[in-house]
Structure 1
């Protein structure tokens, strides 16, 4: 390539800078979206992996129904070459001051595992100091460093601490709980933990170990969530069970020996009395009866059950991975969908460029330039656009999209910020796609022209032959069309490639905007449908047992109260291989005929009401999806401290937030072989203000046996704070789609004008005004835009449904409905972009040099 020829290429780039910029911008948008979205999932996974490694998150945990002892730790100490272990002690407490359930954990002297990450302040150094889970600050905003914190529970619970008043010295996050709000279940209070607090070891009186955390050394270099990790973890868990299996009988014997030692004075007293008084004496009979009862209790002491868990049982651990996999799933289709539109537009643009430079190609061939030299101009032109667009796209996409999306998910998890990484395979793929879009399309178009003789190339290509349209055969209509309308219709079908490209380009952009607005609808509908249509109660009152007359009077007292319903509500877990363990609320209404006044059970699609039956349970739709069950199937659930039970699913009800299982009292007795304990009330208010609702809750919490009062207004505000962050993701869809729509419309319109510049110059010479010349083009663009929008509506519905399936979390179901207003917004934005482009084209057409355009090239 000579210097003069290189200057010619640079001159061509400069003279057609608008076209060069449009190709570069399309490549930039496509590559940025592709590499950015593709990097988001791995970036989020890597952030979690680094956090688990840095904080030394345990791989396994061991608990026992009768507690653990030093004997258990001594067994693990024999295998120190294979693992690291750490004993943990904690007590779950129901705070009577605010009805929140907390877990008070003793900090070990040396944190070998599950190291706390200090958010603010420091760790406690003295017995009067305490650090709180960061979740505590969200639930109690008044708490801050330097505040006084008091543990206030029942007398029995209070006696388990050496002190109960502390000074707050810091706020922390534990790697065991990566989810912001979920802290697991407990058998205290309402059944779920609100947050954790950490104290020095001497604060807890108990000598029994609550849990032993274990980290196997063979998993330290293995990436979590992988098949290799799962395989090694199964092997490790089996080894752990094998080592600790003899401990159950040892613990039973130890407890029996301790109990026997306690009744030894009673035995001695009985023997002594037997030698002093005749048999049958009332005092002797009484002592003998007491001894027999004590001995029966000793004999009844059973071997404890050892419970083994791993990381997958930690709240949020598995769900976070599933969310990253959802992002990966999005990245397999959505960016390709985006980049496919860019490829179509590049094809049209490069095809037009080859057509425009046909005369130059003939001249160069006539001067003796080889086909390679002639074609190199297009290679350099397209290659530069592809390389620059790819470089800018990678730099922007990899640094912007992962941070933006991770920030949206950040409101749900307490993980540190992500560190972006360049995934070179995806970058190479993006570059190859960009080069294929430019160089590939140019080569396809050039293959015919490069074979042609110079004489043929020096002549303009013959215009496309006109054809009689099918519409022209409809004489009645065709005769009534104006000249301009006939020309518009003929031009539309004359250039079929342009029609197809424009319709597909607009349809793709329209589809992405509909998806963006549709996501906003799906998220917003959750609040309306769940809290307004399905739940018709304003407070949940949790009691320690059956309702007393005093509690009944307290609940129904005051002008705020309207009605209430008694039910049993307890937390159950649902677990199945391949699906993260889910927590559901099991509800058994005392009077099932009144349930519909407080909770609407209905089929989502048909809106048909569901009645509780005596031969099955009603579960929510999301739970059914997760476990792949339908009406008539069985589902395994487990109540804390009880063996797992299989229940029959009689119906699947509409629900969007959390998981619920409803049973009739009759079916509950069939499954659990016991009578329900109606420990909860759903309460309805009479248009009560926030102040009145809080006053009602405060008054109830002072009543004996009332453990917790949950106000649904507070629950609604707390649950949907995280959904607000999803608007950021929606913004990405709309802005990206809008930017692509603008570039697509400009590029295609610019090509349309360039192709028909002689035609447009001719009608200007014939006396058409500037506005009429613009409308000559705009009519076609408007029709193609409308066609593209219609196709985009169907495409948007499909894309929206796909996004919902992949973006939902386990405890959340999006509403699948797209509001009509979203279609209108998307259409108006597309029309606005079309009008903006035509305004730019109008300015360009006003400055067309008619003489130059009409010059003959013969």
Structure 2
């Protein structure tokens, strides 16, 4: 390339700055969105991987129905070359003084695994010190460093502690609970944990460990969630089972020996008693019967069951990966819209550039320049715009979008900030696509003109011939149109490429804005539909058994009480191949016909009411999707919490629901499936009035009565569960802003091209006496019609895109409302029209300063 030719390219860029910048901006937006969104999922996964490694998150855990002893630890000690391990003692309690279910655990003397992150304060140094889960601050804002924390639960559980009053010295996060709110299930209280508390070793009286955390060394350095990790973890779980299988019989024998040792003094007393009374005396006979019964019980001590769990059992672990995969899924859709629109606009822009430079191309060809040399100007022009747009797009997108989206998810997880990483494969793909959009478009346009003769190229391209419109055959309408309207319609269909590009470009941008607003609707509707339309109760009361007269009296004579529904309520873990374990609420109302007063069961699409029968269970729609079951199929449920044995319940109906999972059964069907009567341990309660202070007083007064384990207020649940939904509005904002920016660039670029193509035409009508406003309207009418067409088709495209996004963006315990509010279509349309008006405002200033003489001078 000669210096003169290089100057020619630079001069062309200088003469067409608006066109060059518009191409660069289109590429910038497409590349920024593509590389930024594509990098978000891997960045989030890398943040989790680094966190797990730094905190030494255990790869497996072992539990036993009879607790874990030093002999169990000795088994792992024999394989210390393969594993790192630590024993943990814990007890789950229902705090009667603050209505929270808490897991109190002893901090191992040496944290080999599951190392804590201190958010504030420090770990306990003295026996009277305690640290709390950071989640405790959210649930009980009054808790502060230095405050006194008192354990106040049932008399039986209170006796399991050497001390029950502590000083709060810190708040921590545990890698076992990366989700901010979910702390797993328990057999205590309402069935779910609220937070954990950690104390010094020696605080609990229990002599056996509750859990052994295990870290397999062969997984060190292996990326979590990968196929390799799953394969190795499966092999490691098999090893654990092999190691501990012999322990079950040994532990059974140990428990029997301990029981016999405790019974031995009593047997000696009975032997002494038999020497004091005749052989057939009633006291001796009774005592020997008791001894025989005790010995039979010792013989019947079952072999304990060992339970093996991996990281997937940790609340939030699997869901975090699923969320990152949803982001990855989104990254294959939205960037495609940007890239497709960018390609269309670049094709139109390069077509216009080739048309403008026909005379220059003919001159260069007449001077002896080859087709390659002539075409290289356009290649360099488009390639430079693509390269600059790509560099700026990568720099902005990779540094902005991952941080922005991770921040939106940050309120849901206890993970550190992400570290930005450049995915060079995606960056290279983005650069190639950008070059194809510009250089490829230039090549497509040039392949005809470069084979034309110089004399042909040095003449202006003949105007496109007009055609008779179908609308003209509607004589009644056509005669009523004035001249400018007829010209507008003819011009629209005369330049079909511009019509197609503009409509497609605006439709794509409109679709993304509708998707953004639609996501906001879907998120916002969850609260309204779930808490106002489907749930018609204000509190859940959980007891330790069937309702007593005193408990009923305490509930019914409370000032807030209106009515209640007695039911069995418990948490069950639904396990099925191909699905992460799902926690669902099992509900069995004592009087099924009254359930509709408290819970609306209906089909989401038909709104048809559903009722409990003896034909099966009613489950929520999201659980049915995850488990891939439909009406008539069966769903496995555990017989009891923590037991692997499951029973199959038939799905009689699938009901509308948006938060959590539920399985409702009629009492008769429950007896049929589980072979025993349900214990009605709960109440759904409706209040006469509302107010946070009055509701807290209701809960506190009720908890003072014996047997009341927990009172869950729906107002608190609503506030806690939907904190994360507020943060998702940030993601929605990305869609709306990015789509709006793209719509603005598209409209400006296409309008600018339209004006440039018809500068002689516009100058002519200006010479003929048209005012500036009339000249602008001459163009604006066409733009307005094309914009309206784009809005119309964009509504359908946006509706489809919104449905696709919902299927990929939902979490396992959340289902978005699928509808889009009509006003959202209006907002998207008004924004698009506003951008169109803004562009025409800019064009109006440009048209006012048209040099008519230069535009109309002959090029011959």
Do the structures match in fold with TM over 0.5? yes
Do structure 1's residue 844 and structure 2's residue 846 form an aligned pair?
Answer: yes
Q: How many residues align?
A: 858
Q: Structure 2: which 5+ runs fail to align?
A: none
Deviation at 1:276, TM superposition (A): 4.6
Check the 8 A contact 2:97/2:700 in 1, yes or no: no
Deviation at 1:277, TM superposition (A): 3.5
Check the 8 A contact 2:540/2:684 in 1, yes or no: yes
Do structure 1's residue 593 and structure 2's residue 581 form an aligned pair?
Answer: no
Check the 8 A contact 2:147/2:167 in 1, yes or no: yes
The 5 A counterparts of 1:165-564 are 165-564=165-564
Q: Could you say which residue in structure 2 is the equivalent of 1:674?
A: 676
Deviation at 1:275, TM superposition (A): 4.3
Structure 1 CA distance, aligned partners of 2:447 and 2:831?
39
SS of residue paired to 1:192: coil
Q: Could you say which residue in structure 2 is the equivalent of 1:102?
A: 102
Structure 1 CA distance, aligned partners of 2:428 and 2:630?
45
Q: Could you say which residue in structure 1 is the equivalent of 2:33?
A: 33
Structure 1 CA distance, aligned partners of 2:449 and 2:20?
22
Q: Could you say which residue in structure 2 is the equivalent of 1:856?
A: 858
TM-score using structure 1 length: 0.99
Structure 2 CA distance, aligned partners of 1:387 and 1:395?
12
Structure 1 CA distance, aligned partners of 2:337 and 2:215?
43
After superposition, the C-alpha distances for 1:243-297 in whole angstroms (9 at most, x for unaligned) are: 1111000001111111111111222233334345432111211221121121111
SS of residue paired to 2:332: helix
Structure 2 CA distance, aligned partners of 1:693 and 1:106?
34
Q: Could you say which residue in structure 1 is the equivalent of 2:789?
A: 787
Query: Which residue of the other structure, out of 773, 776, 785, is the alignment partner of 1:771?
Result: 773
The 5 A counterparts of 1:667-706 are 667-706=669-708
Q: Could you say which residue in structure 2 is the equivalent of 1:576?
A: 576
Deviation at 1:773, TM superposition (A): 0.8
Q: Could you say which residue in structure 2 is the equivalent of 1:822?
A: 824
Structure 2 CA distance, aligned partners of 1:514 and 1:758?
38
TM-score using structure 2 length: 0.99
Deviation at 1:563, TM superposition (A): 1.0
After superposition, the C-alpha distances for 1:517-539 in whole angstroms (9 at most, x for unaligned) are: 00000000001100010000111
SS of residue paired to 2:63: strand
SS of residue paired to 1:332: coil
Structure 1 CA distance, aligned partners of 2:702 and 2:48?
42
After superposition, the C-alpha distances for 1:675-702 in whole angstroms (9 at most, x for unaligned) are: 1111111111123222222222221121
Structure 2 CA distance, aligned partners of 1:114 and 1:277?
61
Check the 8 A contact 2:149/2:168 in 1, yes or no: yes
Structure 2 CA distance, aligned partners of 1:317 and 1:735?
32
> Measured at CA, do residues 558 and 151 of structure 1 come closer, stay the same or move farther in structure 2, by a change above 3 Å?
closer
Structure 2 CA distance, aligned partners of 1:419 and 1:577?
34
After superposition, the C-alpha distances for 1:68-106 in whole angstroms (9 at most, x for unaligned) are: 101011111111111111111111111110121111111
Structure 1 CA distance, aligned partners of 2:61 and 2:554?
43
Query: Which residue of the other structure, out of 712, 718, 721, is the alignment partner of 1:719?
Result: 721
Deviation at 1:168, TM superposition (A): 1.3
SS of residue paired to 1:202: coil
Structure 2 CA distance, aligned partners of 1:750 and 1:547?
77
Between stretches 638-647 and 516-525, larger displacement belongs to 638-647
SS of residue paired to 1:166: strand
After superposition, the C-alpha distances for 1:205-264 in whole angstroms (9 at most, x for unaligned) are: 212011111111111121111111111111111111011111000001111111111111
Structure 2 CA distance, aligned partners of 1:133 and 1:44?
23
Structure 1 CA distance, aligned partners of 2:148 and 2:277?
61
> Measured at CA, do residues 489 and 131 of structure 1 come closer, stay the same or move farther in structure 2, by a change above 3 Å?
same
Structure 1 CA distance, aligned partners of 2:665 and 2:182?
25
SS of residue paired to 2:142: coil
Structure 1 CA distance, aligned partners of 2:632 and 2:474?
58
The 5 A counterparts of 1:620-769 are 620-638=620-638, 639-642=640-643, 643-769=645-771
Deviation at 1:741, TM superposition (A): 0.3
Structure 1 CA distance, aligned partners of 2:514 and 2:830?
11
Check the 8 A contact 2:99/2:700 in 1, yes or no: no
Q: Could you say which residue in structure 2 is the equivalent of 1:53?
A: 53
SS of residue paired to 2:391: helix
Structure 2 CA distance, aligned partners of 1:575 and 1:412?
24
After superposition, the C-alpha distances for 1:558-577 in whole angstroms (9 at most, x for unaligned) are: 44221111111100010112
Structure 2 CA distance, aligned partners of 1:273 and 1:817?
80
Q: Could you say which residue in structure 2 is the equivalent of 1:66?
A: 66
Structure 1 CA distance, aligned partners of 2:110 and 2:440?
62
Structure 2 CA distance, aligned partners of 1:469 and 1:188?
77
Deviation at 1:339, TM superposition (A): 1.4
Check the 8 A contact 2:567/2:680 in 1, yes or no: yes
Q: Structure 1: which 5+ runs fail to align?
A: none
Structure 2 CA distance, aligned partners of 1:95 and 1:559?
23
Query: Which residue of the other structure, out of 829, 833, 836, is the alignment partner of 1:834?
Result: 836
Q: Could you say which residue in structure 2 is the equivalent of 1:145?
A: 145
SS of residue paired to 1:811: coil
> Measured at CA, do residues 35 and 661 of structure 1 come closer, stay the same or move farther in structure 2, by a change above 3 Å?
same
Structure 2 CA distance, aligned partners of 1:197 and 1:21?
58
Structure 2 CA distance, aligned partners of 1:558 and 1:666?
32
SS of residue paired to 2:464: coil
Deviation at 1:766, TM superposition (A): 1.0
Deviation at 1:541, TM superposition (A): 1.2
SS of residue paired to 1:193: coil
Deviation at 1:740, TM superposition (A): 0.3
SS of residue paired to 2:569: strand
SS of residue paired to 1:568: strand
Structure 2 CA distance, aligned partners of 1:138 and 1:497?
58
Between stretches 536-545 and 793-802, larger displacement belongs to 536-545
Structure 2 CA distance, aligned partners of 1:265 and 1:727?
69
Structure 2 CA distance, aligned partners of 1:787 and 1:749?
15
Structure 2 CA distance, aligned partners of 1:130 and 1:577?
40
After superposition, the C-alpha distances for 1:793-852 in whole angstroms (9 at most, x for unaligned) are: 000000000000000000000000000000000000000000010111111111001111
Structure 2 CA distance, aligned partners of 1:464 and 1:566?
79
Structure 2 CA distance, aligned partners of 1:558 and 1:729?
44
SS of residue paired to 2:808: helix
Structure 2 CA distance, aligned partners of 1:663 and 1:136?
34
Structure 2 CA distance, aligned partners of 1:543 and 1:275?
49
